[in-house]
Chain A
Amino acid sequence: MRKFWTLYSKEMLESLRSYRLVWIPVVFIILGIMQPLTTYYLPDILKASGDMPPGMLEGYEMPGAAAVMAQALGQYGTIGMLVLALAAMNSLAGERSSGSAELLMVKPIAPAVIIFAKWAAHLTVLFIALGLGAAAAGYYTVQLMGSLSVSDCLAAAGLYSLWLLSAVSLTLLFSAFMRGPAAAFLALLSAAGMSLLYSLLPSDFDWLPAALPDLSAGQLTEGSVAWFGPVLSAVLLILACIAGASMLMGRNKLPD
C-alpha cells in the first residue's frame, strides 16, 4: 500500500510538472462553458452576421437548462476523450521505450500496483478536469438559462466520467504492449466502435458502456435512467483493462 502511494504521488507529480494537471482541466472548462454561452447568444450572433432571411429566428426557442447542460457534457465525448487518450498514451509505452520501466521493474513491486497507481492518477486528472468543466458549465447554464438539479448534474457527470474512464483504461491497456500513438488510436477506435454499435442497434447494445453518454443526458432531462447495465459493463471493462495491462506489463518491461 505504501508503494502504491509512492507510485501514485510520482504520477501526480509528473502530471503537475508536465502541466497535464493544468491544461486538461482548462480544455474541459472551455469546452464546458462554450455550450451555454453559444446557445444563449446564438440569436445575437446570427443577427450580427447580417443577411438572415427574415422570420428565421422566430421559430428559435431557447432550450431548457437541463438540455443545455446535457449538451455541454456531450462535448467531452469527442475532444475531451481525445485529450485524455493522448495524455494517457505514453504513460506505459513511454516508460518502456525510454527504459525507466527497467529500473522500476527490478524493484520488489507487483506490476499490478504500478498499473493501478497510473490508472488512479489518470482517474484523478479526469475527475478534476470533468469536475471543474461540469461546474463551470453548470454555473453558466444556471446564470443564463435557469436552475438545474444539483444531484442530477452530479449523477450525469458521474455517468459521463465512467464512459471517459473506459476510454482512458483502454488506452492504458494498449499502451502496455504498443507504442503510445498506436495505443491512443486503438483505444479511440474501440470507443468509436462501441458507440457505433450502440447507435446502430440501440436496443441490442444498450448494455454497452457506449450507452453512458445517452444515460447521462437522460439523467438531466428526465431525472432517472436505467443505468445498471452500462455501468456494470463499464466497470467490468475497466477492471479487465487494468488486469490485462498488469499482465502485459509483467511481460513487456524492456525497451524493444
Chain B
Amino acid sequence: MTLLEVTGLSKSYGKQRSVDNISFVIEAGQCVALLGPNGAGKTTTLRMLAGLLPPSAGQISFNGSLPGTDYRKELGYLPQSPAMYRWMSGLEYVVFAAKLSGIPSREAAKVSAAALERVGLAAAGRRRIGGYSGGMKQRLGLAQALVHRPKLLLLDEPVSALDPIGRREVMELLREIRGETTVIFSTHVLHDAEEICDNVILMNQGTIAVQGELSELRQQYSLPVIRLSVETGSAAAGWLESLALKPFIQASQISGGKAVFNVADVALARRAILQEAVGLNIPLLHFEAGSSTLEDLFMKVVGS
C-alpha cells in the first residue's frame, strides 16, 4: 500500500534550487534512507514533507488523500537539531507532545511513560532537559516523535551529532522502530543507511541521483570484481601471479598477498579460482565475489 507519493517536488530560495523536481513513492512499512552529502537538500525535503516549508512546486499525497490535505496528525518528526524546552523535564515534554497530537490527558501520561521507557529514559524522565546529554536529547526527540504512534516517522540525521556510543544506542532503537511504522531518515553516511534500511534515495544537489531497493542497487552497481587475499610468505603469492594470466580475468592488481581481479563472469571465475585454491591447497584468508560498490557509487555521485 502506498503511504506517500511525492511528485515533482521543488523548493527554490531565490535563484538557488535546493530541491529540484524530485519524485518518489514510499510504501507503508518501508524504511527509507534519504542519503546525500551536506547541502544535498535532505533537510529541505523532510521539512516539506513535514509541512514546515511550502514547496515551490510539486505535490505530496499522503495515504491516498488529495495533495494539500493536512496529515500532521499521522506524522512524527525529529529535526536535525531538536530544541526542546530546557526548563521542562523529559516526561513533561513527551506528555506535552502527546497532548498536542490529540491524545487525552490521562492516556497521554501513560503512553509518554511507555515511550520514555522505550528509548531508555525512564529513569531520567523527571530530570530537566537542560541537563541532558546529546544522546539523551536525541532519544527524547525520538520519544516525542513516536509517542502518538505516527504512520510516518521523519528523522533528520538522527545519529550524525552523536558519539559512537550514542550512535549505537539510537541505531538499535531505529532498528526496532522500523518494524512498527514507516520511517524516512536522512543521513550522509552510507553505512548507516545499509545498517537499517532496505531502500535508499540518494540525493545530490537537490536532485535524486539514484533510488531503489538496496539489494537491487547493490546488484545493479556491483562491478564484477573478485577480491582475495592469501597468507603471505607462502607459495600462494606465485599462484596469484599465475591466476592473473587466466583468460577469465581481464585486469588484476596484486600486492602483498592481496589481489583484486576484474572479471567478465563472476560465477565462472569464482568457481575456477576456488577449485584451484582447493586443489593446490592454497591458504586463503579472504575471498569476496561481485563485491558491493555502493560506496563507490556514493562517492562518485557525491564527488561529481
Contacts and interface: CB of A to CB of B under 8 A. Distances in A.
A102 B154 CA distance: 13
SS class, residues of chain B in contact with chain A? loop
A98 B86 CA distance: 11
B99 A108 contact: no
Contacts of B77: 103, 106
Contacts of B50: 106
A6 B94 CA distance: 12
Contact of A17 (B72, B79, B87, B102): B87
B52 A253 contact: yes
A254 B99 contact: no
Interface string B77-112: 101011111011000100011011110110000000
A103 B73 contact: no
B83 A103 contact: yes
Given A3-B100, A10-B96, A99-B81, A107 B72 contact: yes
Nearest to A110: B70
B58 interface: no
B229 interface: no
Interface string B260-302: 0000000000000000000000000000000000000000000
B106 to A, nearest CB: 12
B258 interface: no
B47 interface: yes
Contact of A103 (B79, B87, B99): B79
Given A14-B85, A99-B79, A102-B52, A109 B47 contact: no
A100 B53 contact: no
A107 B94 CA distance: 13
Interface string A184-211: 0000000000000000000000000000
A10 B96 CA distance: 8
Interface residues of B, number: 28
B102 A103 contact: no
A18 interface: yes
Q: Looking at chain A, what size class is its interface with the partner chain?
A: 20 to 34
Nearest to A109: B100
Interface string B51-87: 1110000000000000000101101010101111101
Interface in A6-26: 6-7, 10, 13-14, 17-18
A20 to B, nearest CB: 11
A98 B82 CA distance: 9
A103 to B, nearest CB: 6
B10 interface: no
B101 A107 contact: yes
Contacts of A14: 85, 87
Contacts of B51: 105-106
A113 to B, nearest CB: 10
B144 interface: yes
A108 B101 contact: yes
A42 to B, nearest CB: 43
A103 B51 CA distance: 11
Contacts of A104: 100
A247 to B, nearest CB: 14
Contact of A108 (B52, B72, B85): B72
A17 B100 CA distance: 21
Given A6-B96, A108-B73, A100 B85 contact: yes
Contacts of B70: 108
Nearest to B77: A106
A51 to B, nearest CB: 53
Contacts of A103: 77, 79, 82-84, 97, 144
Contacts of B87: 13-14, 17-18
B97 A107 contact: yes
Contacts of B92: 13
Nearest to A113: B100
A186 B50 CA distance: 33
B86 to A, nearest CB: 9
A69 B81 CA distance: 51
Interface of B: 47, 50-53, 70, 72-73, 75, 77, 79, 81-85, 87-88, 92, 96-97, 99-102, 104-105, 144
Given A103-B79, A107-B101, A108-B102, 20 more contacts: A2-B99, A6-B99, A6-B100, A7-B100, A10-B88, A14-B87, A99-B79, A102-B52, A102-B79, A103-B84, A103-B97, A105-B52, A106-B50, A106-B51, A106-B52, A106-B75, A107-B72, A108-B72, A253-B52, A254-B53
9 nearest A-B residue pairs (beta carbon): A99-B83, A107-B100, A6-B99, A108-B72, A106-B77, A108-B73, A98-B83, A17-B87, A100-B83
